[in-house]
Amino acid sequence: MASGMLSMCPTPRNTPNRPIRPVRICVCGDEGTGKSSLITSLVKGVFVTNKIQPVLPQITIPPTLGTPENVTTTTVVDTSALPQERNNLAREIRKCNVILLVYSDHYSYERVALFWLPYFRSLGVNVPVVLCANKSDLATGHSETRVVEEEMLPLMAEFKEIDSCIRTSAREHRNVNEAFFVCQKAVTHPIAPLFDSKEAALKPAAVAALQRIFYLCDKDRDGYLSDKELKDFQIRCFSKPLNEADLNHIKDTIQKAYPDSVTESGIDCQGFIHLNKLYSEKGRHETVWIILRAFQYTDNLSLQEKFLHPKFEVPPYASAELSPEGYRFFVNLFLLSDKDNDGGLNEAELASLFAPTPGLPASWVDSSFPSSTVRNEAGHVTLQGWLAQWSMTTFLSPKTTLEYLAYLGFEPSDQSDQSITAALKVTRPRRKRRRPGRVGRNVVQCHVLGAPGSGKSALLDALLSRGFSTTYHPTIQPRTAVNTVELPGGKQCYLILDELGELEPALLENQSKLLDQCDVIAYTYDSSDPDSFSYIPALLAKYPHLEELPSVFIALKADLDRTTQRAEHQPHEYTAMLNMPSPPLHVSVTWSSIQEVFVHIAEAAMEPSTAFPRSEEDVEGKWMSWGIALGAVVCAGAAAVMIWRRVGSGN
């Protein structure tokens, strides 16, 4: 209804998040209901007694004091109900944003349900309808309440497309401007997505959106909006402070329906939802829309696409990482969500943390999170594991991280730039891997390749500091593990280890993607299995482009008896033949020294030139330098002997 609005918040100001649009109003109804008189009264400001032409030409109303601030122009189109004008009527209805359906007596009222609303449906239009009871000056003895209860509410219950209703009189200029204002608001602030009038309740999508808003405004995550949080919320949405009188009025209003929803800590989510339900019930759904749009919601109650997926390009051979601001956000989110302060996020805490999102990212589900990252003895995700998981997600899919930053309420510190991309940064491309020097990156990815049973899964478990299992389970689906590795000098980086499973051939065949994303290859074999190493030369022969990536050779299961490999060359011979900087590393995941392997892998990724086969020139150059050095030593020795002899003969 257009009347009886609840006064709880100041009138909302226009904000950048409110959509700016033109509005096209199609005025429909039976002949003689006063459609043209309403339009003329709107334009002239008074009732026109002279005869008016049957159908007025369309008029355009520029923004005025009585127009919503987010409406640029309003076009009002008059129509005829005559049968011969039916085609033109249908064309105008299909072009409009809202329909003002006018009736004025019992006959035209009956026609609303019997003809007009079914006719709109038959055209397939999906626009709001504002029902207008005109000529209220002639309806003597019909009170506002009676008209609403007996005429309007039954129609609204039957036809959900009716957005609102209003009584007008063109003759007395009663509610004329208001009728068109209601039409404008039906477009800019539609009630249909918010409120179910039949059930007298907010719709599930609206409730979900408001729950997320409550969660984001509850900065301390105590389940209540404190006075300060409410005042911050008010400033964000309405750009005006909330005075104590309005604050107390809000609390009193909520308390009448839900006494337990208002405490010393503030108002709970139930009370917040109820408050917005009252706004919708009382015709103040504009207030609800201002709140929703301040938090980037569209008319269909989804988050804005450009907000969820802002433009963020990662050049080839570069990668995305969390910026210091991004890391701070996820650290604070972890600390706020760890309610029992045990240093880990359990299932309930994770569920609460991801409540304002669609759930865990799909990539996390695919990687069997939380098994992909570091957990404590109770199996709860630690802060180290939490940051490692997001570091990996940002590296592999920066758009996923940006999407969840939006859902979780990241706000950049720079108020002049509200883009959530401030939480990310782009590294420098590392196209020339063979050139000496370190890459400017903190997250690196390593594909672990090797024969089945060589110990790849155990290596990933060791990265996560998990105990060794003697039970062998072949890896079918790709598996990922991520953790921090401390490099020489104290600097840390995030190391991602990938076991490719049955997708190994497809992933290795995609040369461009492989070279773009992967930083280093770890070739593993079981030093106790004579048939294990032969897998590696065969793999390199099949995929020669693997030689374009830095590589590390690792002999696993060194705690078992070493055996001769059934291969054309033994591992140390093979790596020597390739001119690798070092022979295979012999380790066991059961040894504490296994951590040195991860350092070695990370260093190979951070300084890739050290993990490529040395060229013949490098080898010859090294021998030449050794020869020069040896020659210099010999010459120096001979000179010393000569000097000693001369000194001796002088004596």
| Residue keyed to tokens 């039957």 | 158
Report residue 427's pLDDT band, with 50, 70 and 90 as the boundaries. very high
Distance between CA atoms of 354 and 344, rounded to whole angstroms? 15
Distance between CA atoms of 517 and 496, rounded to whole angstroms? 11
Report residue 616's pLDDT band, with 50, 70 and 90 as the boundaries. low
Query: Is residue 219 located within the same domain as residue 322?
Result: no
**β-strands 195-196, 201-202 pairing:** antiparallel
Query: Is residue 166 located within the same domain as residue 241?
Result: no
Report residue 538's pLDDT band, with 50, 70 and 90 as the boundaries. very high
Query: Is residue 422 located within the same domain as residue 448?
Result: no
Pick the closest to residue 495 from 342, 373, 401, 631 (CA basis).
373
pLDDT tops 70 at residue 66: no
Does any domain span residue 7? Answer: no
Does any domain span residue 31? Answer: yes
Residue 633, pLDDT score: 37
Residue 639: which H helix or E strand, with range?
helix 616-650
What percentage of the chain reaches a pLDDT higher than 70?
Answer: 89
Q: Please compute the mean of the pLDDT values over residues 431-437 and round it to a whole number.
A: 82
pLDDT tops 80 at residue 629: no
Cis peptide before 361 (omega within 30 of 0): no
pLDDT tops 70 at residue 584: yes
Residue 158, pLDDT score: 86
Lowest mean per-residue pLDDT among 94-103, 452-461, 474-483, 538-547:
474-483
Distance between CA atoms of 149 and 154, rounded to whole angstroms? 7
Long-range CB pairs of 642-645 (<8 Å, 24+ gap) are none
The token duo for 393 is 């997600």
CA 204 to chain centre: 21
pLDDT tops 60 at residue 271: yes
More confident position, 624 or 556: 556
Report residue 643's pLDDT band, with 50, 70 and 90 as the boundaries. very low
Does any domain span residue 438? Answer: no
Domain membership of residue 634 as a residue range: 623-650
Q: Please compute the mean of the pLDDT values over residues 571-588 and round it to a whole number.
A: 95
Distance between CA atoms of 439 and 255, rounded to whole angstroms? 60
Residue 644, pLDDT score: 41
What percentage of the chain reaches a pLDDT higher than 90?
Answer: 69
pLDDT tops 70 at residue 625: no
Residue 69, pLDDT score: 57
Distances in Å between the Cα of 512 and the Cα atoms of 432, 509, 517, 523, 616 are 15, 9, 9, 20, 27
Give the end of a domain, one of 302, 322, 341: 302
Does any domain span residue 617? Answer: no
Pick the closest to residue 113 from 161, 156, 146, 155 (CA basis).
155
Count the domains in the chain: 5
Buried b / exposed e across 230-244, counting CB within 10 Å, b at 16+?
A: bbebbebbbeeebee
Q: Cβ contacts of residue 382 below 8 Å, gap of 6+?
A: 343, 344, 374, 375, 376
Report residue 457's pLDDT band, with 50, 70 and 90 as the boundaries. very high
Pick the closest to residue 334 from 356, 355, 353, 308 (CA basis).
353
CATH number of the domain to which 230 belongs? 1.10.238.10
Report residue 8's pLDDT band, with 50, 70 and 90 as the boundaries. very low
pLDDT tops 80 at residue 460: yes
Report residue 632's pLDDT band, with 50, 70 and 90 as the boundaries. very low
pLDDT tops 50 at residue 463: yes
User: What number of other Cβ atoms are within 10 A of residue 325's Cβ?
Assistant: 16
Residue 362, pLDDT score: 95
Q: Please compute the mean of the pLDDT values over residues 606-624 and round it to a whole number.
A: 68
- With H, G, I as helix, E, B as strand and everything else as coil, classify residue 551: strand
Query: Is residue 582 located within the same domain as residue 464?
Result: yes
Q: Are 326 and 413 in contact (CB under 8 A)?
A: no
The token duo for 357 is 């999102």
Q: Please compute the mean of the pLDDT values over residues 289-317 and round it to a whole number.
A: 93
Does any domain span residue 594? Answer: yes
Pick the closest to residue 178 from 340, 428, 22, 5 (CA basis).
5
Provide the residue type at 553 as one letter: F
- With H, G, I as helix, E, B as strand and everything else as coil, classify residue 331: helix
Residue 572, pLDDT score: 96
Distance between CA atoms of 178 and 237, rounded to whole angstroms? 25
Pick the closest to residue 481 from 467, 494, 468 (CA basis).
494
Query: Is residue 281 located within the same domain as residue 393?
Result: no
The token duo for 232 is 């911050």
pLDDT tops 80 at residue 349: yes
Query: Is residue 392 located within the same domain as residue 517?
Result: no
Residue 67, pLDDT score: 57
Distance between CA atoms of 3 and 347, rounded to whole angstroms? 48
Query: Is residue 215 located within the same domain as residue 170?
Result: no
Give the end of a domain, one of 157, 188, 219: 188
Does any domain span residue 616? Answer: no
More confident position, 493 or 142: 493
pLDDT tops 90 at residue 455: yes
pLDDT tops 80 at residue 263: yes
Residue 73, pLDDT score: 78
Distance between CA atoms of 294 and 303, rounded to whole angstroms? 11
Query: Is residue 603 located within the same domain as residue 627?
Result: no
Query: Is residue 247 located within the same domain as residue 174?
Result: no
Burial class of residue 626 (count of CB atoms within 10 Å of its CB; 0-12, 13-18, 19+): exposed
Report residue 596's pLDDT band, with 50, 70 and 90 as the boundaries. very high
Residue 251, pLDDT score: 95
Which sign, positive or negative, has the C-alpha torsion 92, 183, 207, 212?
positive
Report residue 594's pLDDT band, with 50, 70 and 90 as the boundaries. very high
Does any domain span residue 194? Answer: no
What is the side-by-side order of every strand in the sheet holding 479-486? 479-486, 492-499, 443-450, 520-526, 551-556, 585-586
Does any domain span residue 16? Answer: no
Residue 364, pLDDT score: 95
CATH number of the domain to which 54 belongs? 3.40.50.300
Give the end of a domain, one of 159, 188, 217: 188
Query: Is residue 46 located within the same domain as residue 175?
Result: yes
pLDDT tops 70 at residue 481: yes
Q: Are 337 and 353 in contact (CB under 8 A)?
A: yes
Buried b / exposed e across 131-154, counting CB within 10 Å, b at 16+?
A: bbbbbbeebeeeeeeebbeebbee
Distances in Å between the Cα of 392 and the Cα atoms of 347, 364, 614, 650 are 21, 10, 31, 76
Residue 38: which H helix or E strand, with range?
helix 35-44
Query: Is residue 343 located within the same domain as residue 389?
Result: yes
Q: Cβ contacts of residue 232 below 8 Å, gap of 6+?
A: 217, 219
Q: Please compute the mean of the pLDDT values over residues 493-517 and round it to a whole number.
A: 94
Lowest mean per-residue pLDDT among 21-30, 40-49, 545-554:
40-49
More confident position, 365 or 138: 365
301 DSSP assignment: S
- With H, G, I as helix, E, B as strand and everything else as coil, classify residue 491: coil
* Mean pLDDT for all residues in the chain: 87
Query: Is residue 33 located within the same domain as residue 172?
Result: yes
- With H, G, I as helix, E, B as strand and everything else as coil, classify residue 549: coil
Q: Are 79 and 92 in contact (CB under 8 A)?
A: yes
